[in-house]
Amino acid sequence: MYAVTFDSSVSKYIFTQIAGKINKNFYCGKLSCVKYERVKEPELLGDDWVKVKTIYGGICGSDINLVFLHDTPTLSPFVSDKFVIGHENVGIIVEKGANVKEFEIGDRIVADILLPCETRNIPKCRACSEGRTNQCSNFSKGDMLTGMMLGTCKETGGSWGEYYIAHKSQLFKVPDRLKSEEAVLVDPLSSAIHPALVSFPQDTEKVLIIGMGIVGLLMVAFLRYAGCKADITVMARHSFQGELAKKYGADRVIYTSSENMIEKMSDITKASIHKPMIGERYLVGGFDRIFDCVGSKKSINDSLRYAKTGGTIILTGLAANIDIDWTLIWFKEINLKGIYCYGSDIFKSEKVRTYKIGLDMLLSGKIDVLPFVTHVFKLSEYKKAIDVATSKGKEKSVKVLLKPD
């Protein structure tokens, strides 16, 4: 089969890092970590597994970070040395093991991306036994190769390939009334649902969501779907993002290009502005709850500047090795919480797999997510797809999908 692969060998990593800074085309060049090539189709790892023919694989922000090596190597112990990229998925079962009873060949499915203890045929760790599969202690152990999720493990493949495999515990059937273009959004939707439910806003709170990529937009949509009545301000870079945010329930949009940004934040929250002798101004008072869906130096620093004393910041965006002034987290006694993927969450007084919450939301018909799918490319056109996904202002891209040729 053909697939887009990532080779994490040290030599390729160092070369791509150096060459990519000279010319970004090197990030997907012949000598880079990323390559479109023919690889062996993944094989079932046992009777509890299925083989899936990819319909769509989404391009996630974490995939972009991987291609352009924006992440630090901190999590390299939890990925295979070479693997097929892609975790956002929807596909059709084409082969199944003897123990897979609830699914049939021909079923259309989405697979929860994580590869925790149950998929590795080992006793559940404490986190997994409590439904926190995103915090599994054994991503590098068990009967399969290292990999935290689909699209990081050599044996499972990924959705940027023609086929991938999944454990029966990962599978969710996609009903006929749901389009594949909707179903592939269950993963980014789950990535928005988990932080929202971990830190659900009170009705009287003022909330700021930084970053109107797919996760930020879906967070706005989910909060309103879940009955959140809080006042929601969003920070967006582009006008089309702001328009979508308003459509799905944001009370107001502040654009990152705006002048007098902090004055606007002060007006919204009735907070006072303070100017240090050197450095950026910040609020005392401010937003009760901030969801940072970017994870950059600027977004984290902005979160600290705009949060109220005793406020909460949820770091949903992928963070890297960046320079942060932590003075305000100390001075304001800010509660900062990181979020990685999802597992299970409490919703409507019941503990449920986050994936199911997302799938049920899509099936409810209350939220139309199709406007978020803006571009579809063939797998062999992955370079063009990545270019479109990273040119949001020019292309008005939200979610870019890949499909097998």
Domains of the chain and CATH, by start: 2-184+372-403 (3.90.180.10), 188-338 (3.40.50.720)
Residue 319 has pLDDT above 80, yes or no: no
Concatenated DSSP letters for 7-48? E--HHHHHHHHHHHHH-GGGGGSTTSSEEEEE-PPP---STT
Average the pLDDT over 293-302 and give the result: 94
pLDDT at 61: 94
Residue type, 335: N
**Rounded to 5°, angle at Cα 168 from 162 and 172:** 75
What pLDDT score was predicted for residue 320? 75
Neighbours of 351 (CB within 10 A): 10
Mean pLDDT of 335-357: 97
pTM above 0.85, yes or no: yes
Residue 318 has pLDDT above 80, yes or no: no
pLDDT of residue 62: 93
Model pLDDT for residues 167-207, shown as the tens digit of each residue = 999 999 999 999 999 999 999 999 999 999 999 999 999 99
Structure tokens at 130: 């409590």
pLDDT digits (tens, 9 = 90+) for 72-87: 888 889 999 999 999 9
CA 166 – CA 118 distance, rounded (Å): 12
Q: Where are the alpha helices (DSSP H) in 307-381?
A: 327-331, 354-364
Q: pLDDT (tens digit, 9 = 90+) per residue, 214-266?
A: 999 999 999 999 999 999 999 999 999 999 999 999 999 999 999 999 999 99
Q: CB under 8 Å to 50, separation ≥6 — which residues?
A: 44, 93, 95, 96, 97, 100, 103, 109, 165, 166, 168, 171
What is the per-residue pLDDT across 266-283, written as a single tens digit (0 to 9) for each? 999 999 999 999 999 999
Question: Which of 173, 150, 165, 174 lies closest to 47, judged by CA?
Answer: 165
Mean pLDDT along residues 308-325 = 89
- Euclidean distance between CA atoms 149 and 113, whole angstroms: 5
Determine contact, residues 337/362, Cβ cutoff 8 Å.
no
Task: Give the bridge partners for 400, in sequence order.
Answer: 375
Q: What is the pLDDT of residues 374-395, one digit of tens each?
A: 999 999 999 999 999 999 999 9
In this prediction, residue 371 has a pLDDT band, given cuts at 50, 70 and 90, of very high
The CA-based diameter of the chain, rounded to the nearest angstrom, is 69
Query: What is the per-residue pLDDT for 4?
Result: 98
Structure confidence at residue 20 (pLDDT): 87
Q: Are 115 and 104 in contact (CB under 8 A)?
A: no
Residue 367's pLDDT band, with cuts at 50, 70 and 90, is very high
Which residue is associated with the tokens 């974490």? 62
Q: How many CA atoms lie within 13 A of 31 on its CB side?
A: 12
Interval 102-107 mean pLDDT: 98
What's phi and psi for 350, nearest 5 deg? -135, 140
Tokens 């937003």 -> residue: 287
Residue 72 confidence (pLDDT): 83
pLDDT at position 270, please? 98
Q: What's the pLDDT tens digit per position in 109-141?
A: 999 999 999 999 999 999 999 999 999 999 999
**Strand pairing class (231-236; 252-255):** parallel
Query: pLDDT value at position 351?
Result: 97
Listing DSSP states for 100-149 in one string gives: --S--TT-EEEE--B--GGGGTS---HHHHTT-GGG-S-TT-SSS-S-SB
| Beta pairing class for 272-274 and 282-284 | antiparallel
Residues in a beta bridge with 180: none
* Amino acid, res. 39: V
- Between CA 339 and CA 135 the distance in angstroms is 10
Name the CA dihedral angle for 65, 70, 75, 80, rounded to a multiple of 10 degrees: 60
Q: Which helix (H) or strand (E) holds 244?
A: helix 239-247
Q: What is the pLDDT of residues 13-63, one digit of tens each?
A: 888 888 888 888 889 888 899 999 999 999 999 999 999 999 999 999 999
Give the bridge partners for 231, in sequence order.
206
